[in-house]
Structure 1
């Protein structure tokens, strides 16, 4: 069982990370080359027709698709226990948004594999997505900024938006410019909680009418900060607010 794996630009361990695949995310293999597979990641949101990122992953991270996922992880890092017992050995942790197939439920724990149990409180049915984008995105506060990250070790601005929306049942492209083109309706200015704010190469979420929630390289983490000073700082760095989209 693998919690996540990087999708790389080339079949080399130190190649640039394009994004991360989380546990349970499907990947279509097109070509195999030694220990590597080139292919396309499928969206986490079931039923989406969007084309996912292409790149290389290590074959050791891939397994057969045996059944469709039934639940997704709602905790920022959900411990996987070897038994249905909170005092038992923790095998690994799964990131928020990871997809799992629950085999059976016992004593408040869901078995997802041999010797692998998650607390029922850390899972939600894929057929019952969350509804509050800001509440979900705030769970990532304090996570480090990582280019191409989707939350397993850290994440970037568009990864924050994509993963937060995915557990709300909304499929989003991976990159900020593609999100700007695909998501919501354009409005003149930010004014509603959940509005998405776009700059060239950057995206943030309006957490309140006066606060911005985003992953950024200035703080090297996911922060929630006053909107006015953030707008001025980003503009001083050479980027003006380009669009506001309302979902």
Structure 2
């Protein structure tokens, strides 16, 4: 990572974060306002328009630093991984109350009250954060008076699993979505980041940043020998997770889904498609 990487540096020619004054050039510098994602998920886009490329998604409960709001878009930085881009203002709310719990299953419904017979008012994906104010029977009441099945939640802090691969395996069959980070759609690096986060391991958002930051390098052998569960396999612009010594779990555009397949099959196909060979293998 570098300070000037626009993905993680809140700086434009006309505006930058106040803490960058003297480091990057900008017309003016502003102090961020702390906000929080109140939608189930929020698209963070490269430009302030709905058809701009999706760079990543922020989940409910995530803290956000907002530097500018204009015409329905907030130029902001995600507090968790530092990603910078444009979020719809409608997805943002007050920084308080802070989440007390997070969703511990792939997806769960949000109800207007503590009953499975009520029509759901929404749904939240794995790792979304919620502020629980109390419990009624099998349900947790949230700060906005809605309710979620309590056994689908876990306290924020302890890991959901020690083995992050078990988290990633839950996403098998989930559609591939460039920039996605939810159970409705996810990309290769989003899967790695989300699964590691559930195991209390911080990771950057994009595969090139992950390749630099995560783990220790392993030798790349012709037959990919010596690999084990949890090893990360990187290509230029792609990453996958080994589920055992021979099989790779990854969200990918060939299947347009999250799949498990032999590493040998994946490497041959990816290289034949012109994406190049494996660039590194990392062990956490």
Q: Pick from 233, 258, 267: which aligns with 1:222?
A: 258
Q: Is residue 113 of structure 2 the alignment partner of residue 83 of structure 1?
A: yes
The normalised TM-score by structure 1 is 0.93
SS in 2 for 1:90: coil
Matches of 2:72 and 2:113, distance apart in 1: 33
Counterpart of 2:24 in structure 1 is none
Q: Aligned residues, how many?
A: 240
> What aligned pairs does 1:7-46 form with structure 2 within 5 A after superposition?
7-43=44-80
Q: Is the 8 A contact 2:42 2:57 kept in 1?
A: yes
Counterpart of 1:208 in structure 2 is 244
* Aligned-residue offset at 1:152: 4.8
Any unmatched runs of 5+ in structure 2?
A: 1-37, 221-225
Counterpart of 2:189 in structure 1 is 158
* Aligned-residue offset at 1:163: 0.9
Counterpart of 1:148 in structure 2 is 179
SS in 2 for 1:170: coil
* Aligned-residue offset at 1:167: 1.2
> What aligned pairs does 1:51-62 form with structure 2 within 5 A after superposition?
52-62=82-92
Any unmatched runs of 5+ in structure 1?
A: 44-50
Q: Pick from 70, 75, 93: which aligns with 2:123?
A: 93
The normalised TM-score by structure 2 is 0.81
Q: Is residue 213 of structure 2 the alignment partner of residue 177 of structure 1?
A: no
Counterpart of 1:47 in structure 2 is none
Matches of 1:214 and 1:158, distance apart in 2: 9
Q: Is the 8 A contact 2:174 2:183 kept in 1?
A: no
Q: Is the 8 A contact 1:4 1:152 kept in 2?
A: no
> What aligned pairs does 1:98-109 form with structure 2 within 5 A after superposition?
98-109=128-139
Q: Is residue 222 of structure 2 the alignment partner of residue 186 of structure 1?
A: no
Counterpart of 2:93 in structure 1 is 63
* Aligned-residue offset at 1:227: 1.7
Matches of 1:208 and 1:151, distance apart in 2: 24
Task: Write out per-residue CA displacement over residues 57-106 of structure 1, whole angstroms, 9 at most, x where no aligned residue.
Answer: 11111000113222111221111112222222211000111111211122
Of residues 154-163 and 237-246 in structure 1, the stretch that sits farther from structure 2 once superposed is: 237-246
Runs of 4+ in 1 over 4 A off after TM superposition: none
Matches of 2:89 and 2:178, distance apart in 1: 22
